[in-house]
Amino acid sequence: MSDPDVDALLEAVAGAWRERDAYGAVRSHPAWHDLDAQGRDAAWARAAQSRKLEAALDPDGLSTTVRALLSRIRAAR
């Protein structure tokens, strides 16, 4: 796999979007299964850094992941 291919997989996996199954459970990103252990570690590190940047830019200090979770909790009430 060339570097652009790996980079595209890392970006897809590091993003906040996750598919849900029919019961609402979060599923792993399909690209996760195309990465080896080293790639999965790199994707985790990239996601962690992205969440820190998102929180730093947010007026309330929240990442998109936290906002999505809070939205689901509030909707369930």
The pLDDT score that the predictor gives to residue 2 is: 58
CB atoms within 10 A of CB 31: 17
Domain positions in the chain: 3-76
Predicted confidence (pLDDT) at residue 1 exceeds the cutoff of 80: no
The residue among 46, 22, 21 whose CA lies nearest residue 32 is 46
The pLDDT score that the predictor gives to residue 17 is: 81
CB 54 within 8 A of CB 64: yes
pLDDT tens for each residue of 27-62: 988 899 999 999 999 999 999 999 999 999 999 999
Question: Structure pTM?
Answer: 0.76
The pLDDT score that the predictor gives to residue 9 is: 93
- The band of 3, judged by pLDDT with boundaries at 50, 70 and 90, is confident
The residue among 73, 5, 65 whose CA lies nearest residue 36 is 5
